[in-house]
Each structure stands twice: as structure tokens, then as C-alpha cells.
A and B are shown apart, each in its own frame.
Chain A
Amino acid sequence: QQQVKQSPQSLIVQKGGISIINCAYENTAFDYFPWYQQFPGKGPALLIAIRPDVSEKKEGRFTISFNKSAKQFSLHIMDSQPGDSATYFCAASRSSGGYQKVTFGIGTKLQVIP
């Protein structure tokens, strides 16, 4: 049972285009929503994160949009570049047994073509 549902699983975008990855969750106890970026042969690295009291967070070309009532959030990559080609994971965390337990989506493999 996936607690964090992510789509699409793969995405091809032209250079300069907008990449959009969507995630949805059910558990309203989640209180922190990070996105991780993973390049081949590397571990995931934190890219950007948002808390549910904010509807949008922007860092450079990366923006998280958050819809608390719909329990959905998305990552937008503006002006996508070939160097953005990677796998992106949305995640959600909640307090569990005294620590913030992170649950990851299945991942989206993004390919940006020139």
C-alpha cells in the first residue's frame, strides 16, 4: 500500500520546457513534504521541501505547489535543462515513535532532451 502516490513514473521533456511531477497522500498526519533528486549511481539528495501551512515554495527553477485540501503536491521544474535529468522522489514525513519518519513515492525518471 503506497502512502505517497507519485506520477508519472517517467517523463520526457524538451530543453526549456516545464517538467511537472505530481504526488498525492492520504495520511493527514504528514507535516513535511521534501523532494529528493537522484542521479544514476548516487544516493538521493534533498532538493526542496515544504510544510503544509504554505501553498507554494520556489527555489530557483524549482517550485513546489501544495494543495492541503486535496492532499496533493507537485514539483515544477521551469526551463528544464539536460542536467536536470535524474529520478525525482516526492516524500512525506510525520512524527512516529519520537522521530520524523519519511515515506517516499515510487520516483519519476525525468529525461530532458536537447
Chain B
Amino acid sequence: DAGVIQSPRHEVTEMGQEVTLRCKPISGHNSLFWYRQTMMRGLELLIYFNNNVPIDDSGMPEDRFSAKMPNASFSTLKIQPSEPRDSAVYFCASSVAGRSETQYFGPGTRLLVL
């Protein structure tokens, strides 16, 4: 049984470039979350989707960040343009409807912006 799948696992890019992170949630889960993890701030919720619809994007840092979920099995988080302060580990998590307090995390994408 595959868990949450994220790609790429590592990304190194230069400041100003566009970065796209990808996530495939667990089949049958209709809630999806994007988190950012840094040493200073820990795990922060960026955005929450339910049934492919963005419900809570209050954690998205600024307009440079955008997220989409075109179908139940795929989501993207895009940063354009990227900045060094965006360097972090980005996690995608999914959950069953009505059980969003129990989330299953992917392995994360480690992003380094030079």
C-alpha cells in the first residue's frame, strides 16, 4: 500500500527560478495538506484542500506561493520566483474525510535556493 508520494525528493535551484513540488496523496484520502518545515519555525501549515478545493490558504506566505489540486490524486506547490529564505523541507500530507486530525505525511522535498 503506497503512502503519500512526493517529488522531487531534493531540489537545488537559484534565486529567481520557478520551483514546482509534486504530491500524490494516499488513494481514498480526500484531504490534502502542504506544510513547510524549518529549524526556526518547525512545521507550518501552508494550505489545506478538501475534495480538490482549497479550503484554508491562510498559511501561504505570499503571492510567490501557489498550490493547485487538479484531481484527487495530484497536487502541486509552486514558488515563483524562489528566494533563499524559501529553503526548507516541504511536506505533503493526506487524510480521510472527517479525520483531518490524523494525517499521513510524505517523505518531503528538501529545497535549497541559492
Contacts and interface: CB of A to CB of B under 8 A. Distances in A.
Interface of A: 32, 34, 36, 41-46, 49, 89, 93, 96-107
Contacts of B91: 43-44
Contacts of A41: 107-108
Q: Which of the four size classes fits the interface of chain B? A: 20 to 34
Interface string B77-114: 00000000000000101000001111111111000000
Given A99-B56, A106-B42, A93 B101 contact: yes
Interface of B: 4, 31, 41-43, 45, 48, 50, 55-56, 91, 93, 99-108
B50 A99 contact: yes
B89 to A, nearest CB: 9
Contact of A43 (B31, B50, B100, B106): B106
A97 B55 CA distance: 8
21 contacts: A34-B101, A43-B107, A45-B105, A46-B103, A46-B104, A49-B101, A49-B102, A89-B43, A97-B55, A97-B56, A99-B31, A99-B56, A100-B100, A101-B48, A101-B100, A103-B45, A104-B42, A104-B43, A105-B42, A106-B41, A107-B42
